[in-house]
Structure 1
Amino acid sequence: MTPRRLALAALVRCVEDERCSASFPHAFPAVLHVTTRTGEELEARVEVNRGGPGNPLSDEELARKFHDKRREVPPGGRRAAELAARTLALPDAQSVEDLTALLTSAGER
């Protein structure tokens, strides 16, 4: 992390917001309060977090998140794409057998 980012991070204080806490764990709202160098106070509130039931990610965003977060043994790319496709197809699947077979065969590909 760069020195400028570390300096900015040192100015951040995390405190509980009662309205946010009241909806947890069903939602993960957040509030950002900023006091500028001129003393102006700004606030932004997010009641419905991105990726939650009230504001879900698209299939494309879910697949991108999956690829960004995956930790597999190389080559991985093809297997990860298969896992993402089978996971997104779960609502229409007759069973989870294909998905679980792919998950349990991690070292075989």
Structure 2
Amino acid sequence: MRIGITSPIVTRLPGAYNEWEATAGIDELTRIAVTADRLRFHHLTCSEHVAVPVPVAEVRGGTYWDPLATLGYLAGRTERIRLATQVLVLGYHHPLEIAKR
């Protein structure tokens, strides 16, 4: 069985996130990723949504970190855990930009 986690902090769904996430940043996320890596979790995910309309943000949240920058940063601080985008809206990116990142 492979068990992974969805990154906290980077996506704050209304009613589904903890209060500490509102002020947390990359240091807290790094500690979570390093701990998940040490505990041998299989993967950690991060998703992207661009230009979330206000009515949608009220239901799904309006905070989404750039998944490739976030996962790239975490890759430099972890050893084994697999890093995956849960959602990446390819239409918003040039193919060469994605290839570089």
* TM-score, normalised relative to structure 2: 0.22
Greater RCO (Cα-Cα under 8 Å, separation 6 or more): 2
* TM-score, normalised relative to structure 1: 0.21
